[in-house]
Amino acid sequence: MSIWKRDLTLEALNKTSVGTMVEHLGIVYTYMDEESLEAQMPVDNRTQQPFGLLHGGASVVLAETLGSMAGFLTTSEGQCVVGTEINASHHRAVASGTVRGVCKPLHLGRSSQVWEIAIFDGRGKRCCTSRLTTATLG
């Protein structure tokens, strides 16, 4: 059974990014099943720090983007979610290519949610683990 309460396609999700930081960083939603949401982000001049590696803040943007959208998808009409806390543990450096974020719920409560976002490099190695807590409003 799906956790999603809203029926949006990947195409529709990607349209929500137009004109936002999400679009600017090249984040694209790529996969959704009954309880996970995935997106990719390029490792390039928009997302690298001055030493040529993926910026930790860019990883956090990918994580919060995925967790916030996943949270929104689990709400009903008239509700929204806002992030209240995020953390990230960076495991390995990434210098080029694309990273993939996989977002899954750890807790889906009536007024709060907790999401785990695992970020993988192009070889499938985990480079970051993030956890986003959201509050459900409305």
Catalytically annotated residues: 64
- Rounded CA-CA distance 86/17 in Å is 20
Closest CA to 137 of 86, 71, 62: 71
- Looking at the chain, which runs of residues are DSSP E strands? 28-32, 37-43, 80-90, 97-108, 112-120, 126-137
- Full strand arrangement of the beta sheet holding 80-90: 28-32, 37-43, 97-108, 112-120, 126-137, 80-90
Q: What is the distance between the alpha carbons of residues 77 and 62, in angstroms, rounded to a whole number?
A: 25
Q: Which residues contact 28 (CB under 8 A, 6 or more apart)?
A: 14, 17, 39, 40, 41
